[in-house]
């Protein structure tokens, strides 16, 4: 990590050309801060946008159960840091997580002196966790998940990762399967408390806007949601392979890439089809209905896109990438088709399929053929939408359970240090 530090700093500076947030407060990446040193924080690390959004109900539950705690929020990506600002209140702080070098993490812990550290989902930082153990700082892995595939990879790097896993005080896992795999990885205490993503509620006004736009459309909307590399091209190929009448497609096709740095790349791909297309960033009073292809090039508007779509294809599940968060689609009442690769959300995918909220298909070609049938079957889509809403509502409560564990640990830690 010491050798890689100049390269990582240069990479973040380079990314700052498109995402200026990466150039903010660069010394924090080395554990150097302008604000005075202080102590007594509950420190929560949410690496990126997805983890930060998942942390929102947990932060709300923590504040309800311990109104006077001060939150130290750290991130690694610019999108996570931007979203995290909305979670702050007076007395809180937000900084970058430092690089995982011994000096940087010791400076971070010495400056902030947190009483409890919380890492979201899958984070493991060997130097940071070694320094935390040295400082007798308990580290909790919250909303923890570990797929069988990740476990196998971790076991191949056991000399590096097992000591870090053994230094986790407790893992609050999404499922019993996750808890069992975490124990096999070396975590001494792991308990299943549920998935925070079920406690996320889509912004009602954003969702309503999407639904209003859908009502004004004359054609159904098929969306590829949170897509990853290769999936957009495969979708376009699969659409071209359908036996459709000559002329415009019978649907609008909306593509929403997972990463903002890929917006321009996907825009070029859509333009190369020769079909009329438009970007969300160019819309004023709603979608460009003269376009067949739409690019969702905005952040934090997934409820709007799910409200606009009649049917969604789950990005990340058609390549061996583990899938994306399908719970948000269900909570928005959007029917979902998913590919074979959902190992990052294995139980949620199984439950959604069992509830009738989602259907699994073998590849994007099969997804497009199934979509063609479903887009002509309002009754089937309405049943999937209703099943999705029920599925999302039935699994809420993880935030309250996690917050209770964290507040108890934080309180004991503060009493010990008093």
> Known catalytic residues?
51
- Give, in order, the Cα–Cα distances in Å from 383 to each of 54, 235, 307, 330: 27, 25, 16, 12
Order across the sheet with 311-314: list the strands. 277-279, 293-295, 252-257, 221-227, 311-314, 336-338, 358-360
Q: How far apart are CA 99 and CA 30, in angstroms?
A: 6
Q: Tell me which DSSP letter residue 339 carries.
A: -
| Structure-block tokens of residue 225 | 């949601």
Give the count of beta carbons closer than 10 Å to the beta carbon of residue 107.
Answer: 17
Number of other residues whose CB lies within 10 A of the CB of residue 307: 23
- Report DSSP letters for 168-229, one per residue: -SEEEESSHHHHHHHHHHT-S-EEE---GGGG----HHHHHHHHHHHHH-SS-EEEEEEE-T
Are the C-beta atoms of residues 109 and 39 closer than 8 Å to each other? Answer: no
Among 4, 24, 2, smallest CA distance to 13 is for 24
Give the residue from 323, 403, 326 showing the smallest Cα distance to 357.
326
The residue among 277, 283, 228, 284 whose CA lies nearest residue 256 is 228
| Separation of alpha carbons 127 and 117, rounded Å | 14
Question: Measured between alpha carbons, how far is 148 from 346 in angstroms, rounded to an integer?
Answer: 10
Q: Which helix (H) or strand (E) holds 331?
A: helix 327-331
Beta bridge partners of residue 55, listed in sequence order: none
């Amino acid at each position: 990590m010491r050798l890689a530090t100049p390269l990582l700093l240069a990479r973040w500076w380079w990314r700052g050309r498109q995402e200026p947030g990466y150039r903010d407060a660069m010394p924090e990446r080395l554990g150097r801060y302008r604000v005075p040193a202080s102590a007594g924080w509950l420190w929560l690390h949410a690496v990126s946008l997805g983890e930060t959004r998942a942390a929102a109900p947990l932060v709300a539950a923590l504040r309800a159960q311990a109104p006077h705690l001060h939150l130290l929020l750290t991130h690694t990506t610019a999108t996570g840091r931007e979203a995290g600002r909305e979670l702050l209140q007076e007395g809180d702080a937000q900084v970058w997580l430092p690089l995982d070098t011994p000096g940087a993490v010791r400076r971070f812990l010495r400056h902030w002196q947190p009483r409890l550290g919380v890492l979201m989902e899958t984070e493991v930082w060997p130097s940071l966790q070694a320094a935390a153990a040295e400082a007798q700082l308990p580290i909790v892995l919250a909303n923890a998940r570990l797929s069988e595939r990740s476990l196998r990879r971790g076991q191949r790097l056991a000399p590096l990762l097992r000591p870090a896993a053994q230094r986790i005080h407790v893992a609050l896992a999404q499922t019993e399967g996750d808890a069992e795999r975490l124990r096999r990885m070396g975590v001494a205490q792991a308990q299943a408390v549920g998935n925070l993503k079920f406690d996320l509620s889509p912004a009602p006004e954003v969702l309503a806007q999407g639904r209003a736009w859908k009502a004004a459309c004359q054609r159904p909307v098929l969306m590829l949601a949170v897509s990853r590399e290769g999936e957009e091209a495969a979708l376009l190929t699969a659409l071209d392979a359908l036996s459709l009448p000559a002329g415009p497609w019978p649907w609008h096709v909306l593509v929403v890439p997972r990463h903002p740095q890929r917006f321009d790349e996907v825009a070029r791909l859509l333009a190369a089809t020769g079909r009329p297309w438009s970007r969300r960033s160019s819309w004023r009073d709603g979608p460009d209905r003269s376009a067949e292809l739409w690019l969702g090039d905005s952040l934090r508007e997934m409820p709007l896109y799910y409200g606009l779509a009649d049917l969604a294809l789950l990005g990340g599940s058609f390549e061996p990438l583990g899938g994306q968060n399908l719970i948000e689609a269900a909570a928005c009442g959007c029917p979902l088709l998913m590919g074979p690769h959902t190992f990052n959300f294995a139980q949620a995918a199984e439950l959604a399929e069992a509830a009738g909220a989602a259907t699994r298909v073998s590849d994007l070609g099969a997804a497009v053929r199934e979509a063609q049938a479903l887009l002509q079957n309002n009754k089937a889509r309405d049943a999937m939408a209703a099943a999705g809403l029920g599925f999302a509502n039935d699994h809420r409560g993880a935030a309250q359970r996690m917050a209770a564990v964290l507040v108890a640990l934080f309180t004991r830690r503060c009493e010990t240090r008093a």
